[in-house]
Structure 1
């Protein structure tokens, strides 16, 4: 299999790396940390101008028709800069759900707005009792003469406070999962915002008698669970690429530090034990990169193969990321946990990655269960 990047993909990687290195300085991250949105609207507009927001959207709906590999290239660069813009929630998840479930009229209305940066989306699916099981949804959607009424609670909604529309999953009277577009500020919708570990913001949502028009339902009312699973699998592949970017940055910074930090008149890197630990970090980075690439390559495969690849990547990269982060902090000594260095911020983002959409233990179990389904098939 030829895994060489095409000319267009190489140009995308070069432009993304250059933009992130020039824009996402330590001063910029400190400034954004105090912003109530958790990101810069000016930079979001630049994302649109660069075509990044249109990347996975079909050409028929104002996009560029890119795939998971291109998303992975971007997300790896985003990991290097600890980017906090709502790319995952809006483009990777939101645009995917609209493309999979929406009617043609909804696609024509919403997808071009995502591509030009005028619409930010959030996906409200997780619930406290679900424990990362995508099928466990207690939020209800009752049919009314004028449309729908939503009642329930959602937790850890990424970028919910910044979203113009929130895609909320709920069960209708037939027990099917539906996806509903809830505008920010809708009557009966209460949001409790909080900062995310490692940058960005999220919120918990309470829906109490939220009234929606009939066209708030995405699509024709078919069960949305397969589309949700596909979107989350693509999100995990993208997050894996972001984690690889973070891990590589930690390795690079740690390697540079051990070359200039001297002890007993010699640089730390002259110590054979330190070299072994750096080699182990490099090996973990390469293993994680391979798993992230596999998940991206399988993003459009049949559901069982796609989900096994995504869960396998999430589980393996989670373990690799924790190892690299812990080694980096330890090799920096006490400096690794100070605000003067970015090491602590990268470490926090990797901890958040390990729990988002389920930790390693959850995905080892999911991978094994899906393996049983594949054997039976």
Structure 2
């Protein structure tokens, strides 16, 4: 199978990398974290100018008609600079719900604003008791005339403090852990009773959001776990590509350090034991790159059970690799990697947060085992 980029994809990759290389250095990123929103509105406008914010949407809806391969390119380049802007929450999560769950009229209302950088979305799903179970939902949705009233609390809403609309999971029926009866609703931020933003360990933003009889503007599905699973599977594919980009950079950074740091009168890169660790990092990255390609293809699958099994495997491989690459980088750098002034530790933090998003390695390994493994027995 040919994994080479075509001409348009190569141009897309080059334009993103050039922009981020020129304008998203480590010191600039530290400045963005310290800003009012915790990310750069100026860079967000630059992404819109490049056409990145309309990438996953069809041309009919006001986007640029990109597919899984183009989103893989975007995610990997964002990972190389461990960017802080809400591309994941708005394009991958919120955009996924619009593409798969919204009608043409709603897409027509929101997609042009997203593509121009004016509209931000966030997925409000996780609750205190739910951990990684997408179907564990206590938030309720009750009929209110012709609409729905949402009541409940959501935590770890990625970029929820700057979102204009929330995609909210709320129970329309059944018990707390039933797969059936989980609706998906679009709720304007103005309807939330409270939004408390905070900074995650990697510098990115999230929020705790409370709803008290909040009126949903749209119901995307009254029984929407299949929709949620599909969007989260696409999100896992994006996370895998982002991790590959981050691992690639931290590996190169580690090799450069090994060539310049001397001990016992010689560069530490000449010591065979450390060479083996660097080689292990490279192998883990290339395995993860293959799994990221696999995830991009598998995310388009129509067989939900098979697609979920594939994504469990992707999460296991990329999660293990992220931990190995991050830990080896810290060890090979020594004490300098633990300082706030050096980039290696920040990449490890992003890889750690990435690994825990939508289920850590252990969670997906158990799920994959329960499903009978990636390759099913005859």
TM-score above 0.5 = yes
Q: CA deviation at 1:48?
A: 1.0
The question of whether the paired residues in 2 share the 8 Å contact of 1:181 and 1:218 is answered with yes
Q: Which moved more, 1:172-181 or 1:310-319?
A: 172-181
TM-score (norm 1): 0.94
- The 1:376/1:335 distance shift into structure 2, 3 A limit, reads closer
Cα gap change, 1:14/1:135 in structure 2, threshold over 3 Å: closer, same or farther? Answer: same
What whole-Å deviation, never above 9, does each CA across 1:246-288 have from its counterpart, x for those lacking one? Answer: 1111110000001011112111111111111111111111111
Tell me by how many angstroms 1:8 deviates: 1.1
Work out whether 1:114 is the aligned partner of 2:114. Answer: yes
Does residue 181 of the first structure (1) align with residue 186 of the second (2)? yes
- List gaps (5 residues or longer) in structure 1: none
Gaps of at least 5 residues in structure 2 are 175-179
Q: Is the 8 A contact 1:177 1:225 kept in 2?
A: yes
- The DSSP-based 3-state class of the residue aligned with 1:185 is helix
Q: How does 1:58-69 map to 2 (within 5 A)?
A: 58-69=58-69
TM-score, normalised to structure 2, is 0.94
Match in the other structure for 2:161: 161
Q: How far 1:309 moved relative to its partner?
A: 1.9
Aligned partners of 1:61 and 1:111 also within 8 Å: yes
Q: 1:225 to 1:340 in 2, by over 3 A?
A: same
Q: Does 1:49 align with 2:49?
A: yes
Report the counterpart of residue 288 of structure 1 in structure 2.
Answer: 288
**Secondary structure in structure 2 of the residue aligned to 1:210:** strand
1:19-64, Cα deviation, whole Å (9 max, x unpaired): 1111111221111111232211111111111111111101110112
What is the rounded CA distance, in whole Å, between the counterparts of 2:205 and 2:21 in structure 1?
22
Contact (CA 8 Å) 2:63, 2:115: kept in 1 or not? yes
Residues in 2 aligned to 1:210 and 1:373: alpha-carbon distance in whole angstroms: 41
CA distance in 2, matches of 1:205, 1:154: 5
**Equivalent-residue separation in structure 2 for 1:325 and 1:235 (angstroms):** 22
**Root mean square deviation, CA, Å:** 1.8
- Asked if structure 1 preserves the Cα contact closer than 8 Å seen for 2:39 and 2:85, the reply is yes
Q: Name the SS of the counterpart of 2:190 in structure 1.
A: coil
CA deviation profile, 1:43-90 (whole Å, cap 9, x unmatched): 111111111111110111011211111111111111111101100110
Q: Return 34-43 or 355-364, whichever deviates more.
A: 34-43
| C-alpha spacing 1:256/1:6, structure 2 compared with 1 (3 Å) | same
Give yes or no for contact 1:120–1:165 (8 Å, CA) kept in 2.
yes
- Specify the SS of the correspondent of 1:151: strand
Confirm or deny: 8 A CA contact 1:240 1:317 kept in the other structure.
yes
The equivalent of 1:227 in structure 2 is 227
What displacement does 1:195 show? 0.2
Aligned to 2:341: 340
The CA deviation at 1:370 is 3.4
- Structure 2 contact 48–115 (Cα < 8 Å) conserved: yes
Q: Does the C-alpha gap of structure 1 residues 142 and 376 become closer, same or farther in structure 2, counting only changes over 3 Å? A: farther
- CA–CA distance in structure 2, aligned partners of residues 312 and 83 of structure 1: 26
**Residues 1:218 and 2:224 aligned together:** no
Equivalence for 2:205: 201
Tell me the secondary structure at the aligned position of residue 250 of structure 1. helix
Q: Secondary structure at the match of 1:169?
A: strand
Relative to structure 1, the CA distance from residue 278 to residue 226 in structure 2 (aligned partners, 3 Å threshold; closer, same or farther) is same
| Residue pair 1:195, 1:202 contacting (<8 A) in 2 also | yes
Mapped contact 1:17–1:77 kept (Cα < 8 A): yes
Residue 348 (structure 1) shift: 0.7
Question: How does 1:1-377 map onto structure 2 within 5 Å?
Answer: 1-145=1-145, 147-173=147-173, 176-186=181-191, 189-212=193-216, 216-219=217-220, 221-301=221-301, 302-371=303-372
The structural deviation recorded for 1:185 is: 2.9
Aligned length: 372
Per-residue deviation, residues 143-196 of structure 1 (Å, max 9, x unmatched): 11252211111110000011011111111247622222222232x521221101
Is this contact kept in 2: 1:178–1:217, CA < 8 A?
no
